[in-house]
Amino acid sequence: MATMLSGSALMDGAMLVIAANESCPQPQTKEHLMALELIGIKKIVIVQNKIDVVTQAEALEHYKQIKRFIKGTIAENAPIIPVSAQRGINVGALIQTLDEVIPEPARDPEIDPVLLIARSFDINKPGGSWRDVKGGVIGGSLVRGVLREGDEIEIRPGRQVQVENRMKWEPITTKITSINAGKVKVTEAAPGGLLGIATKLDPALTKSDALAGQVAGRIGELPPVWDRLKFDVTLMDRVVGADSEQVIEPLKHKEPLMLSVGTAVTVGVVVNARKNQVEVQLKRAVCAEVGSRIAISRQVGGRWRLIGMGVLVE
């Protein structure tokens, strides 16, 4: 779920894929739809997959199950496209529907760029010469503005350093050496799709997704870094995705929570709980704007389960 929440933060729309050979809704389908609703993704196309392994009557009955499931939700009016991904059936209709339902939004190229980092890599192979060492690579999605080869950028929160017996987060600055959009090398990138950005960073800083969840942009122009979040809370009525749907209790003082903010996933402890607002002390700081949506998960039956959303106030 944490991976799904961080990935969906990059998207303008979503496909909700439902297998035609299983009754609808399955627990995970409920959880995914609720996640889309909480994150605020409204442009949704429902894909009824595996129609090649059911009869026409079964596919029609399954379609009716989907309609009953989405009634009253954010996806109530979403188109339902029957396909077989395995056999390539009706894929053309799906692509056309995606183009109609999730058009490319208008972008302002003059606004300060913000790149949500979802991955980071060390692309150097063991045993190579030090002369051939290349800088670290960050991967993610540009949500606004334009980045160009040669730009000086800042990454926040950055890295933890010790200052006078306490740990603090220090932004990282670097230079873009190349940009790849898919397999195509480009000199500048605008929002839309995923990017791989080569930098002059020490590859030790980027290996094993060490910078995943951070934010990159122009130096001095990024949102603030928070190690303590205060946010307004909206909780769901029941836990979705679990075998038994439990009633969701209010958040409690000292309760551990998992929070997803953009591509960042962090754990924190509630230090102040009111009816509709909480403060959480984070284990790992995040970079986020006031007004950002926060997906809230708590431990239910030994697993993190989505229970509601928040809006960052300070």
Share of the chain above pLDDT 90, in %: 61
Query: pLDDT tens-digit profile of 126-161?
Result: 888 888 899 999 999 898 899 999 999 999 999 988
Per residue in 218-227, is it b (16+ CB within 10 Å) or e — as a string? eeeebbebbb
Per residue in 66-90, is it b (16+ CB within 10 Å) or e — as a string? beebbeeebbeebebbbbbeeeeeb
| Residue 148: both structure tokens together | 């160009």
Rounded mean pLDDT of the chain?
89
Query: pLDDT tens-digit profile of 50-81?
Result: 999 999 999 999 999 999 999 998 999 999 99
Contacts of 274 by beta carbon, 8 Å cutoff, 6+ apart:
none
- Domain-by-domain residue ranges, the chain? 2-101, 114-218, 225-312
Q: Tell me the DSSP string of 150-176.
A: T-EEEEEEEEEEEETTEEEEEEEEEEE
Query: pLDDT tens-digit profile of 258-313?
Result: 998 888 999 999 999 988 899 999 999 999 999 888 889 998 888 888 888 888 99
Do 2-101 and 114-218 have matching folds?
A: no
Could you give the C-alpha distances from 282 to 74, 225, 260, 286, 314, in angstroms and in order?
A: 30, 11, 12, 8, 14
Binned at pLDDT 50, 70 and 90, residue 237 comes out as confident
Q: Report the range out of 174-178, 250-254, 306-310 with the highest average pLDDT.
A: 174-178
Residue type, 97: T
- Per DSSP, helices labelled H in the chain are 2-8, 27-39, 56-70, 91-101
CA 301 to chain centre: 24
The residue behind tokens 């700081």 is: 285
Q: For the domain covering 114-218, report its CATH number.
A: 2.40.30.10
CATH C-level class of 2-101: alpha beta
pTM: 0.78
Q: Pick one of 2.40.30.10, 3.40.190.80, 2.60.120.10, 3.40.1160.10 as the CATH number of 225-312.
A: 2.40.30.10
Binned at pLDDT 50, 70 and 90, residue 6 comes out as low
